[in-house]
Chain A
Amino acid sequence: MLSLETDVLIIGGGMAAGWAAISAARNGADVVLVDKGYVGSSGVTATGGPGHWWVPPDPKLRRETIERRMATAYGLADPDWMARIIETTWDVLPSLAKYYDFPTTGDGKTHYQGLRGPEYVRALRLQALDAGVRIFDQCPALELLLHEDGAAAGAQGVQRLNGEPWRIRAGGVIMATGGCAFRSGLLGSHTNTGDGYLMAAEAGAELSGMEFSSIYSISPAWCSTRTAVFTYARYFDAAGRELDLPGFAGVGDFTGEMAKALMTGPVYCLLNEVPQDVRRQFPQVQPATPLPFARKGVDLYNDKFEVALFAEGTIRGTGGLVITNAQCETTVRGLFAAGDAATRELITGAVSGGGSPNSAWALSSGLWSGEGAAALARQAGRRAAAPARAIGGIALRPTASVKPVDSRAITKAVQSETLPFDKFLFRTEAKSKTSLSTLDALWREARLHQHAQGLAAVNARETAAMLATARWGHEASLARPESRGLHRRTDAPNLHPGLARRHRIGGLDQIWTAPEPSKLQEQAA
């Protein structure tokens, strides 16, 4: 049994977790970080290459950038939060220079905004270690610990390499567990099962924007890759006819049109218009992308190859835990959320922040939550002697007699209600209700009877988290009978002016939804 106490506990091992750890340590806190994988390979940053929202400190330029982004956010974003993350990202990202080799480009300037994933997370790990952070890899969290007053008190879980439990008490807890892509096969997303949503919801935390969860990225059908060169792509059907798709140029509805094409038959991609100089540079730009081609015997630039859309769920969707203040505290005292574990509606509204806004958000929300948790621990102390109880429900503490429950079958069922385009991309009230009747029944059964222990509990809880996220996605869809940004209801294809509000969702056995209270209502309350 590993038992520790600390000022700040961070759960997760990607970009947001790394920045949160560095920030909390810089703010004087004793910091422990636990990740279910390895800080350096876990999560979608490690396999990617995040560009950051990068706007020089010119007031006019920043104002115009924010205005442009507000114009595409469908009324759900907040310009003040955009300004905060643009400023913070610009000010802080270069501080990684001791650990990341920012290159000088042809014009003599240092290139800060885009970082290659494996080197980026490695740099965050090294900087966190130098700042005194204690990192525990291969230590998945299973559940939160709460004080009697409802505030976060720590977490507990399993050490995967020896099967022993761990329990960590902390003055503040930061959830940086990423989003949920329902194990669609999206590169790097196997660990992104929505664990933080589940653990936080059990503590009473609220979520928001879970209807903005249907987004996809194009890849070879046999293996998800990063997609840089796909902007050059042309697409063909099985008969060799070129498809009239709105490209990848941000023109029109690429995802919707591609999904429709894939529903009628296989689609093939041809990248023969990628220029020669790009082909030469590419292995040193994205070294992982050519691997599954060479190994499959497919010539990346001269062969037509079959493609698929891989679901990104709330990774490049926008939903997540509600943020209640500038330090990214959730609706649970002492529990903070950073990166894709938190809702990104504040900066992206109803559209995806995929690419640079999400990265800037991960960095900024990591920093602020680190500051907030460190400040809380300083003010209120670790409270490590106060009683705390473990609050995990499903798969850990059955409410009825223990019976075998097959997590593998639940995962398959969740995937069959979230991955097909006709159920989760092209939504209707009737289809979501049908999905929910299946998913709710699985939830009830597992909640009543499942009791997973040791290492088996890790997969059981990951499965439960995907199940919860799928149910929130469909319930949130029902609560928004319109189409707005990523959320499309084919039975309600237009914007509904009365629904230009963020929607909160919460609860597990009983799910509830409600429009977010306005600032005036909050002040009155």
Chain B
Amino acid sequence: MIELVVSSRCTGCGKCVSVCPTHVFDLGADGIPLIARQDDCQTCFMCELYCQADALYVGPDHDHAVPVDAQEIVASGLLGQYRRDSGWDEWAAHPEYASQFWRMSQIMNGGRELTLARKQATDKISS
């Protein structure tokens, strides 16, 4: 669930307020978004993808809050990882982050073939 708006990074653009599909944020009086309805967060990470300031942190547990230490998170290098790995915004200029989504079906098929081969090997042993 959403745990953190890093106010030192936030530019107050309000994008997370309008982008969150489950209406988790309200815009605060100082322009910094507030996590107003944390329970409604679905842990989809979409707010991070749209936050060009990399000021948002979504924790890994989908059904309960686990408070985090802001300084630790900023130091962790996790902020902005999703946006970077998606090749969005300034990362579009870096070919190493270009989408390789077209590999999806071959990845899935690779696993299926491995599973089938494993199954056949087991069946052989048991017969």
A232 touching B110 in the complex, CB below 8 Å, given contacts A51-B105, A161-B18: yes
Task: List B29-84 residues whose CB lies under 8 Å from chain A.
Answer: 40, 42-47, 49-50, 58-63, 78, 81-82
A161 touches B43 (CB 8 A): no
Task: List B84-127 residues whose CB lies under 8 Å from chain A.
Answer: 85-87, 96-105, 107-112, 114-116, 118-119
Total number of residue pairs linking A and B with CB closer than 8 Å: 175
B110 touches A275 (CB 8 A): yes
B86 touches A118 (CB 8 A): yes
A190 touching B40 in the complex, CB below 8 Å, given contacts A41-B19, A275-B110, A296-B60: yes
> What residue in chain A is nearest B77 (Cβ atoms)?
A294
List chain A residues, Cβ under 8 A from B22.
37, 190-191
- Option from A40, A47, A188, A295 in Cβ contact (under 8 Å) with B59: A295
B97 touches A137 (CB 8 A): no
B5 at the interface (CB under 8 A from A): no
List chain B residues, Cβ under 8 A from A285.
99-101, 103-104, 107
How many Å from the CB of B127 to the closest CB on chain A? Answer: 15
A51 touches B104 (CB 8 A): yes
A170-214 near B? 1/0 per residue, CB < 8 Å: 000000000000000101111100000000000000000000000
How many Å from the CB of B126 to the closest CB on chain A? Answer: 10
A148 at the interface (CB under 8 A from B): no
From A69-77, A242-250, A381-389, A439-447, give the one contacting chain B: A242-250
Chain B binding surface, main DSSP class: helix
> What residue in chain A is nearest B122 (Cβ atoms)?
A244
A222 touches B60 (CB 8 A): yes
List chain A residues, Cβ under 8 A from B47.
41
List chain A residues, Cβ under 8 A from B112.
231, 247-250
From A108-116, A126-134, A486-494, give the one contacting chain B: A108-116
A248 touches B100 (CB 8 A): no
B10 at the interface (CB under 8 A from A): no
Provide the bound-state CA to CA distance between A105 and B100, in Å.
Answer: 9
Provide the bound-state CA to CA distance between A265 and B63, in Å.
Answer: 20
A284 touching B98 in the complex, CB below 8 Å, given contacts A190-B22, A223-B60, A296-B60: yes
A242-278 near B? 1/0 per residue, CB < 8 Å: 0000111111000000000000000000000111001
> What residue in chain B is nearest A288 (Cβ atoms)?
B45
How many Å from the CB of B84 to the closest CB on chain A? Answer: 8
Provide the bound-state CA to CA distance between A480 and B17, in Å.
Answer: 45
A6 at the interface (CB under 8 A from B): no
List chain B residues, Cβ under 8 A from A51.
104-105
How many Å from the CB of B72 to the closest CB on chain A? Answer: 12
Provide the bound-state CA to CA distance between A487 and B25, in Å.
Answer: 39
A273 touches B114 (CB 8 A): yes
A283 at the interface (CB under 8 A from B): yes
A116 touches B99 (CB 8 A): yes
Provide the bound-state CA to CA distance between A47 and B78, in Å.
Answer: 19
A287 touching B86 in the complex, CB below 8 Å, given contacts A41-B46, A101-B99, A229-B107: yes
Provide the bound-state CA to CA distance between A290 and B17, in Å.
Answer: 25
A22-64 near B? 1/0 per residue, CB < 8 Å: 0000000000000011101111001101010000000000000
List chain B residues, Cβ under 8 A from A101.
99
> What residue in chain B is nearest A106 (Cβ atoms)?
B102
How many Å from the CB of A284 to the closest CB on chain B? Answer: 4
How many Å from the CB of A320 to the closest CB on chain B? Answer: 21
Extra A-B contacts (13), CB below 8 Å, given A223-B43, A231-B109 = A40-B46, A46-B44, A101-B99, A111-B102, A116-B99, A187-B42, A188-B21, A190-B22, A234-B118, A247-B119, A284-B97, A285-B100, A295-B59
8 A-B residue contacts at CB 8 Å? A41-B50, A42-B21, A46-B21, A49-B104, A114-B105, A118-B49, A119-B86, A285-B103
The 8 closest A-B pairs by CB, nearest first: A231-B111, A37-B21, A247-B115, A190-B42, A287-B85, A41-B46, A232-B111, A295-B60
Question: Which A residues are closer than 8 A to B by beta carbons?
Answer: 36-38, 40-43, 46-47, 49, 51, 101, 103, 105, 111, 114-116, 118-119, 137-138, 160-161, 185, 187-191, 222-224, 228-234, 246-251, 273-275, 278, 281-288, 290-296
